[in-house]
Amino acid sequence: MKMTMHIDEALLKRVMEAYGCETKTDAVEMALREMDRRVRFRELGARGLEMTPDEIADAVDPDYDLNALRVAETPRKYGSK
């Protein structure tokens, strides 16, 4: 569909560079898809994944220990090369 839009050129250029969009159309389509994805993700969260709290609890391995996994990770030194 062809349409005329008024878009901030500097913003469009930054988006195209940041996401590697080759055309303005690609950048606008990518942005629209991302906004749609965010809305659908938010709606999914609001519906609680369409599961009861018990079903969600049963879906997680009882032996899963996030803190143990964090301790086991190799610490990263940020800010140095």
For residue 75, give the DSSP letter.
Answer: P
How far apart (Å, rounded) are the C-alpha atoms in residues 49 and 10? 38
Q: Does 19 map to a domain? A: yes
In the chain, how many H helices and how many E strands?
Answer: 4, 0
Look at residue 39 in the predicted model and tell me its pLDDT: 96
- How many structural domains does the chain have? 1
Average pLDDT of the residues of the chain: 89
Q: What is the mean pLDDT of residues 68-75?
A: 80
Q: Does 39 map to a domain? A: yes
Q: What is the mean pLDDT of residues 51-71?
A: 85
Provide the residue range defining the domain that includes 50: 9-72
Look at residue 81 in the predicted model and tell me its pLDDT: 58
Look at residue 22 in the predicted model and tell me its pLDDT: 96
Q: Does 64 map to a domain? A: yes
Residue 63 scores a pLDDT above 80: yes
In this prediction the pTM is 0.59
Q: Does 79 map to a domain? A: no
Q: Does 15 map to a domain? A: yes
> Is the CA virtual torsion 14, 17, 20, 22 positive or negative?
positive
Whole-number Cα distances in Å, 38 to 27, 45, 76: 17, 11, 30
